[in-house]
Structure 1
């Protein structure tokens, strides 16, 4: 029996390994603060409503995706399992 070796660890596992407090600090404080700084910098640099509005939308998307990381992880895992020939796969072998 050969030992199993994980070649690439996902960032959520690395964050949990560092501790749940560090992971919570990154997702609940660090990312929202960076999103706010991004919007402020774009607003002050451009002084135009169009780019600032787009920065707000982009920051909202980044913040929302980081807040729903568990749901994204589950959805991505389900997609990979389905593509690999999981339980209800619609992919025909040789169709890759």
Structure 2
């Protein structure tokens, strides 16, 4: 009986360790890799085009990607609300579209 309890504690410890590692990996990707990739994207576009327009657009697009990644919880909640609303057959205010 005691061996089973020790195994259960070991499994629980491993699960907690994996949970903490996944949280650290998420933070590394969110605050390290994504901003670095956005910066590389802007620099590459700037050097390849040597024009202000595409470079400014790349900055805007990179900011949108970074914002979307940082606010994934907000976006998933909004998407969930939209899906729930659609599943219940309730449409938003009159959009002028046929049902």
* TM-score normalised by the chain length of structure 1: 0.71
Q: Name the Cα RMSD after superposition.
A: 2.1
Q: Structure 1: how far apart are the matches of 2:55 and 2:66?
A: 16
* Structure 1: stretches of 5+ with no match in the other structure: 1-15
Alpha carbons of structure 1 residues 41 and 25: separation in structure 2 relative to 1, 3 Å: same
Report what 2:31 is aligned to: 28
* TM-score normalised by the chain length of structure 2: 0.69
Alpha carbons of structure 1 residues 73 and 17: separation in structure 2 relative to 1, 3 Å: farther
- Which structure ranks higher in relative contact order (CA pairs < 8 Å, sequence separation ≥ 6)? 2
Runs (4 or more) in structure 1 with deviation over 2 Å come to none
| Structure with larger Rg | 2
Q: Structure 1: how far apart are the matches of 2:91 and 2:26?
A: 36
